[in-house]
Amino acid sequence: MPDRIQQQLIEARKNQILDAAAVVFAAKGFHPTTTKDIARQAEIAEGTIYNYFDNKTAILLGIFERMKASVVAQAAPPAADVHDVREFLHTFLYHPLMALKADNFALFRIVVSEMMVNEELRRRYYEQILAPTLALAEASIQEQAASQGRSPANLKLTIRVISGMIWGLMLEHIMGDSVVAERWDELPDFLADLLLNGLTDDKI
Amino acid sequence: MPDRIQQQLIEARKNQILDAAAVVFAAKGFHPTTTKDIARQAEIAEGTIYNYFDNKTAILLGIFERMKASVVAQAAPPAADVHDVREFLHTFLYHPLMALKADNFALFRIVVSEMMVNEELRRRYYEQILAPTLALAEASIQEQAASQGRSPANLKLTIRVISGMIWGLMLEHIMGDSVVAERWDELPDFLADLLLNGLTDDKI
DNA sequence: CAAAATAATGAGTGATCGCTCATTACATGA
DNA sequence: TCATGTAATGAGCGATCACTCATTATTTTG
């Protein structure tokens, strides 16, 4: 059998296990889920899992790796596409907020929970997702400001504040706040307006 | 023995156990910590724990209850003290941000981690901490706006965005972002300026 | 001081669960 | 068709750990 097809079969099995794990993790959480649960959901034997993953934590890391591609692709618009601040805010705010609405939050909760407690997961998230996204956003604005002969001193921190807003609103959503939940779709515009114009009379 | 003194002794023992649990939870995380670990740290026998707490989760809830008082007290300024928006922003931003700097983040990480996964903890946090704090902030601004004959339509959402910023920045700090860490002390002023004036030239 | 009530103890229990590995089933190729 | 290599299987192992409870220690009371 050619190596390429062989490789594809292995990938398919891995994905089958990751799909199953995502379902049961989302439903029960990471720790309460047993490897037997995963196997049952994937309709394979428990032992088979260990032909493809070293241990239970490796499965969570596998799920994380798969989330990476989609999150980074959605959250980070190509720098070239951004021509002014309003456009930047729209892409930078709209995509992550809407992506998270589409998913159910359950799996996200599990990953955040483990991340708070697992050094490696935290490091991977920062190095592979958060830092690159922040850097891309920064470069995008940097370039635009430079074309106007400017170099905003607090850009790095500003990017982090904006990114943090999204994180915070997600958490408030997860906590069950109904105001945030009900007005989720308006958030990109609302935040862009707040950022551009500050606390206007309708807000405070 | 009078009931009052009896009650104080029970409280003292509980606090002794909670102190010990906070130390070992912060060091090892909730799940990896055994009841034996807690007992050893508290210098009592394992069984004694169960004279004061129903189970391991009850200990975490106990820690949470103790955090409540201090967090709410620090984060929520009395409404009467606020006379204008700038003053409001200072109290509302300064206290929570500085309180979290003073603590080490370890125990906070553990609580957030369990909260993501534990429905009851999440509900308690929302009902007993987040919602009251938001309501207090809202009332404080509401009152001030009313005195000017105004009634800001988006106040509730605005309060949530500001609160979310703090959450998000905390998470970025926990994730290991050095920009946020290094400029933590400036954040209250930086955020107040951003909120009042929007994205000025130094920022974007 | 003795009896009774209360609190502390820690070895033991029962159940759980991640992971292994000897065995079985299947696929490949001569 | 048979020999050989590869993948799947699931019973069982070893270890862990939250929690119990019979016993011991301490305090209270008459």
CATH code at B160? 1.10.357
> Which among A84-88, A106-110, B101-105 has the top mean pLDDT?
A106-110
Contacts of A87 in chain B (CB under 8 A): none
A172 contacts B163? CB cut-off 8 A: yes
* Rounded CA separation B51/B40 (Å): 16
Please state the rounded mean pLDDT for residues B18-27.
Answer: 96
- Give me the residues of A, 158-197, that contact B with CB < 8 A: 158, 160-161, 163-169, 171-172, 174-177, 179-180, 183, 190-191, 194-197
CATH code, B37: 1.10.10.60
Interatomic distance B63 CA / D27 C1' (Å): 30
Asked whether residue A45's C-beta has any atom of DNA/RNA strand D within 7 A, the reply is yes
pLDDT of B77: 56
Domain boundary among B35, B53, B71: B53
What pLDDT band is residue A92 in, cutting at 50, 70 and 90?
Answer: confident
Residues A171 and A184 occupy one common structural domain: yes
Angstrom CA distances, A192 to A87, A88, A94, A155, B200, stand at: 10, 10, 10, 16, 13
What pLDDT band is residue A91 in, cutting at 50, 70 and 90?
Answer: confident
A84 vs A61, more confident = A61
B40 vs B8, more confident = B40
Which domain does A45 fall in, by range?
1-53
Burial class (CB in 10 A: 0-12, 13-18, 19+), A16: middle
Residues B19 and B60 occupy one common structural domain: no
* Rounded CA separation A81/A87 (Å): 9
**Tokens coding A156:** 């790095």
For strand D, the positions having any atom within 7 A of a protein Cβ are 7-12, 16-22, 27-29
pLDDT of A105: 84
pLDDT digits (tens, 9 = 90+) for B117-145: 999 999 999 999 899 989 989 998 999 99
Please state the rounded mean pLDDT for residues A26-48.
Answer: 96
Q: Give the chain A residue nearest B108 (alpha carbons).
A: A116
Q: State the pTM of this model.
A: 0.89
* Rounded CA separation A21/A144 (Å): 43
pLDDT of A77: 55
Nearest CA among B127, A101, A14 for reference residue A6: A14
Residues B41 and B65 occupy one common structural domain: no
Place of tokens 């170099």: A151
pLDDT digits (tens, 9 = 90+) for B138-183: 998 999 999 999 999 999 999 999 999 999 999 999 999 999 999 9
Residues B48 and B67 occupy one common structural domain: no
Residues B24 and B67 occupy one common structural domain: no
Residues A67 and A158 occupy one common structural domain: yes
Residues B72 and B167 occupy one common structural domain: yes
pLDDT digits (tens, 9 = 90+) for A130-189: 999 899 999 989 999 999 999 999 999 999 999 999 999 999 999 999 999 999 999 999
Residue B12: partners with Cβ closer than 8 Å, 6 or more residues away = none
Interatomic distance A47 CA / D13 C1' (Å): 14
pLDDT of A2: 53
Q: Give the chain A residue nearest B119 (alpha carbons).
A: A175
Percent share of chain A, pLDDT over 70: 91
Q: Is the CB of residue B85 less than 8 Å away from at least one CB of chain A?
A: yes
Q: Is the CB of residue A198 less than 8 Å away from at least one CB of chain B?
A: yes
Estimate to the nearest angstrom the gap between the alpha carbon of A176 and the chain centroid.
19
Nucleotide nearest to B34 (CA to C1'): D17
pLDDT of A40: 97
- Say if residues B14 and B52 touch (Cβ distance below 8 Å): yes
pLDDT of B135: 93
Q: What is the DSSP string of A42-58?
A: HTS-HHHHHHH-SSHHH
pLDDT digits (tens, 9 = 90+) for A94-121: 888 888 776 778 888 998 999 999 999 9
pLDDT of A87: 83
* The total number of structural domains that make up chain B: 2
Residues B44 and B144 occupy one common structural domain: no
Domain boundary among A9, A36, A53: A53
What pLDDT band is residue B110 in, cutting at 50, 70 and 90?
Answer: very high
Residues A186 and A129 occupy one common structural domain: yes
Residues B168 and B67 occupy one common structural domain: yes
Residues B45 and B62 occupy one common structural domain: no
Residues B109 and B174 occupy one common structural domain: yes
